[in-house]
Every structure is written in structure tokens, then in C-alpha cells.
């Protein structure tokens, strides 16, 4: 079956290429076994692109990203480029993608696989069965800092949100909740911040106008952080701004055990003509220079990011379920890469973990 499912693979640096190899194997499996074909292309980003072309995001790669249905991104950075000036940092590649594709909605699921409940820093019963998503506004908000020379140095950060920015991220969160357990917590600091007051009012307005079937609760960001470590299963979808989202998603990340397990998606606005939106999927972890080149990195965060691409960019929910079930099965069978290794588990390398996921999918396909 031919298809128009275009997927751009940007492996990047460090362990990026190692984990992305496993994603390509999973994508190929669908083409071979399920007649779900992806048009795969690839390109250089980050340090690799800096070395080859002098820029962390070559124009030709950017053009491919614009034209593709989804981008799978590995990781960028490493000690080799740490001393580079800001405009020649590998991270500029990712920043350009986010900016030019206007990826304003960052989805960070925190899903605790049963077999890993013991690996969480919280008690297993608090996280067992945990399945939440943090929807972080990614392009607006704060962090515009400047220093003013008047004898003293001053650092100034401006937090700014507009109603359209709040409306579009709220819609993403409510839409997502409708496909899940129908509950949205909107988190801000309306007790001390004007942007917080605006956020609360505008999320409420969108809720009343378009999503009154979804339950909405407001929660102050400090309380939200506390509740995430006290009783995380009370949440379904949490929508929040750029700054609080940065912190809350890292808190939620630790509930699930390892950095090597965490996928993410960043989505752009829906094109009214085609119904499509730009999307980038990436593991939350970085390029892990300490283990790069050894073939031991955990590929599951990247494989789970691909499952998110199946669900959100290609409307292939059943196939996404298959990948997630295969990952859960592999963990239940006791296979672990080094980052997850515990007593009574079998240590595997990156490719062996990929093999095991493919075996799990074959089993599921019958």
C-alpha cells in the first residue's frame, strides 16, 4: 500500500543515532508486516551538522522538516561543542525547529509501566498505574532577560501571555482530555501573577464556550508540584505555561523511574485547510555523552515517542497501542538496559532491546 506518511528522522549527536536506529526498525516493521508504510528521510542536526555544514540546522534540513508530516528527533549536544558561542551551539538546531514550525504545545506523558513501579522515587502504590500528561505552553511566557547598566547590573525577566496563546494551548489540553479521562487541571499562580489571573480567566472562558463536557479544575502551580509527589494519580491532563511546565514536567518525569523511558511530543497549530499540524517527537533525555558509542543506551523513550507520532500525527491509535504494549511486555519479561537494571533482571544492549520490542509486536500481530 502506498502512503503519504512522511517521517523525517533527525538522529543528532551522542546516543541520538543509536536510539533512532531502533525507531527506524519499528517504523520499517509496520511497512513490512502491517502495510502501514512511512516515507522515511533523514538529515543532520546539532553538533553533527555544525561539523559538516557550520550550522546546527541547515536550511535544506529545515525545508524537509517543514514538508514532512512528523519529525523524529534524537538528541543534540556534547562536550565537543560546549565552548561554542551561543549561535553555534548544537541546541540552536532544536530551537530553530521549534520556532519555525511554531511548536507551541509540548506534551509530556508520565506513564508508569507496572514492571518499573519499584524504580520510582515514590512508593510503588502511589505510582502503579500512573498515566498523566502535562501540556506545557512552549513558545510564549517568560525568560526574556536583559541586563541594564546603571552602575548596578539588573536581570529582568518578563512574563507575557496573550489570550490567543492561552486559548490555543487550552484547546489542545481539552481535546486531549476528551480522548482520555476527561479531566483537565489548569495550573498557574493567579494569586501573585497577572499572567496567572489572565490564564485562569481565559482557560475558563474556552472551557465554558467549547468544552463544558470536560471537567476543569484550577490549581496553583506550587500546590500542583506538591500534589504531584503526594498523590499523582488524581491527575489526568495538566495544562500550564512555559515556566511552570518546565518544572512540573520534570517533577512528573521522576515519578516514572528513568530518563530513558520518557517520550515527548511538540505540536504546532492545525492548518485549517488540511487539518494537519507540524509535529516533533523526541525523547526527553539528552545525548548522554558518557555512554555514547557503546550501544547500551535505552531506546524505549525514542520508541515511545514514535508511538506518540503514530497516535497524534498519523491517527494510528491501534498501532500506537501495539508499540506501547510491546514495551510493557519487554519490561514485564525482565529485560533492562543499564539505566534500569535491577536485581533479577536481564541486562540487554540497545539493539537487543529493539529486537525484543519487535518480537513483542510480532507476538501481538499473531
End-to-end CA distance of the chain: 20
Distance CA 182, CA 174 (A): 8
- Shortest distance, position 123 Cβ to ligand NAD, whole Å: 23
- Shortest distance, position 354 Cβ to ligand NAD, whole Å: 12
- Shortest distance, position 65 Cβ to ligand NAD, whole Å: 15
Residue 264 binding ligand NAD, by CB under 6 A: no
Pick one of 245, 257, 260, 354: the residue that binds ligand NAD (CB under 6 A).
260
Nearer to ligand NAD, 196 or 263 (CB): 263
- Site pattern 6..25 for ligand NAD (x: CB under 6 A): ---------x---x------
- Shortest distance, position 75 Cβ to ligand NAD, whole Å: 4
- 273-302 positions binding ligand NAD, by CB under 6 A: 282, 285-291, 297-298, 301
Residue 193 binding ligand NAD, by CB under 6 A: no
Cβ contact 170:207 at 8 Å: yes
The C-alpha cell 504545545 sits at 105
Residue 150 binding ligand NAD, by CB under 6 A: no
SS3 letters for 220-231?
Answer: EHHHHHHHHHHC
What is the number of residues in the chain?
Answer: 366
- Shortest distance, position 301 Cβ to ligand NAD, whole Å: 6
φ, ψ for residue 354, nearest 5 deg: -60, -45
What Rg do the C-alpha atoms of the chain give, in angstroms?
Answer: 20
Residue 77 binding ligand NAD, by CB under 6 A: yes
Nearer to ligand NAD, 169 or 297 (CB): 297
The C-alpha cell 520510582 sits at 120
Distance CA 324, CA 344 (A): 23
Cβ contact 23:303 at 8 Å: yes
- 308-347 positions binding ligand NAD, by CB under 6 A: 337, 339
Cβ contact 223:190 at 8 Å: no
The C-alpha cell 509496520 sits at 30
φ, ψ for residue 90, nearest 5 deg: -55, -35
- Shortest distance, position 78 Cβ to ligand NAD, whole Å: 5
Nearer to ligand NAD, 79 or 317 (CB): 79
- Would you tell me which residues interact with ligand NAD (CB under 6 A)? 15, 19, 75-78, 94, 259-260, 282, 285-291, 297-298, 301, 337, 339
Amino acid at each position: 500500500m502506498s502512503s503519504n506518511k512522511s517521517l523525517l528522522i533527525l538522529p543528532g549527536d551522542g546516543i541520538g543515532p543509536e536510539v533512532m536506529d531502533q525507531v527506524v526498525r519499528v517504523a520499517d516493521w509496520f511497512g513490512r508486516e502491517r502495510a502501514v508504510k512511512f516515507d522515511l528521510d533523514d538529515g543532520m542536526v546539532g553538533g553533527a551538522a555544525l561539523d559538516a555544514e557550520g550550522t546546527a540546522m541547515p536550511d535544506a534540513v529545515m525545508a524537509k522538516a517543514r514538508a514532512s508530516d512528523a519529525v523524529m528527533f534524537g538528541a543534540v549536544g556534547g562536550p565537543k561543542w560546549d565552548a561554542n558561542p551561543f549561535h553555534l551551539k548544537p541546541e540552536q538546531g532544536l530551537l530553530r525547529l521549534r520556532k519555525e514550525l511554531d511548536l507551541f504545545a509540548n506534551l509530556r506523558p508520565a506513564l508508569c509501566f507496572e514492571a518499573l513501579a519499584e524504580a520510582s522515587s515514590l512508593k510503588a502504590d502511589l505510582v502503579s498505574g500512573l498515566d498523566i500528561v502535562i501540556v506545557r505552553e512552549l513558545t510564549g511566557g517568560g525568560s526574556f532577560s536583559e541586563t541594564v547598566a546603571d552602575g548596578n547590573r539588573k536581570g529582568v525577566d518578563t512574563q507575557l501571555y496573550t489570550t490567543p496563546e492561552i486559548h490555543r494551548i487550552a484547546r489542545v489540553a481539552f481535546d486531549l482530555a476528551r480522548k482520555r479521562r476527561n479531566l483537565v487541571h489548569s495550573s498557574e499562580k493567579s494569586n501573585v501573577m497577572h499572567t496567572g489571573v489572565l490564564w485562569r480567566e481565559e482557560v475558563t472562558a474556552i472551557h465554558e464556550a467549547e468544552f463544558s463536557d470536560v471537567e476543569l479544575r484550577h490549581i496553583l502551580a506550587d500546590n500542583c508540584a506538591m500534589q504531584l509527589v503526594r498523590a499523582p494519580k488524581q491527575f489526568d491532563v495538566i495544562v500550564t505555561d512555559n515556566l511552570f511546565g518546565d518544572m512540573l514536567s520534570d517533577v512528573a518525569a521522576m515519578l516514572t523511574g528513568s530518563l530513558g523511558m520518557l517520550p515527548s511530543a511538540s505540536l504546532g497549530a492545525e492548518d485549517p485547510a488540511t487539518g494537519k499540524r507540524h509535529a516533533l517527537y523526541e525523547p526527553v533525555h539528552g545525548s548522554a555523552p558518557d555512554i555514547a558509542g557503546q550501544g547500551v543506551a535505552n531506546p524505549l523513550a525514542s520508541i515511545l515517542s514514535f508511538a506518540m507520532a503514530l497516535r497524534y500525527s498519523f491517527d494510528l491509535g491501534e498501532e500506537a497501542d501495539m508499540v506501547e504494549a510491546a514495551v510493557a511486555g519487554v519490561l514485564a519479561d525482565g529485560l533492562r538496559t543499564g539505566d534500569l537494571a535491577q536485581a533479577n533482571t536481564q541486562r540487554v544492549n540497545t539493539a537487543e532491546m529493539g529486537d525484543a520490542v519487535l518480537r513483542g509486536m510480532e507476538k501481538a500481530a499473531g
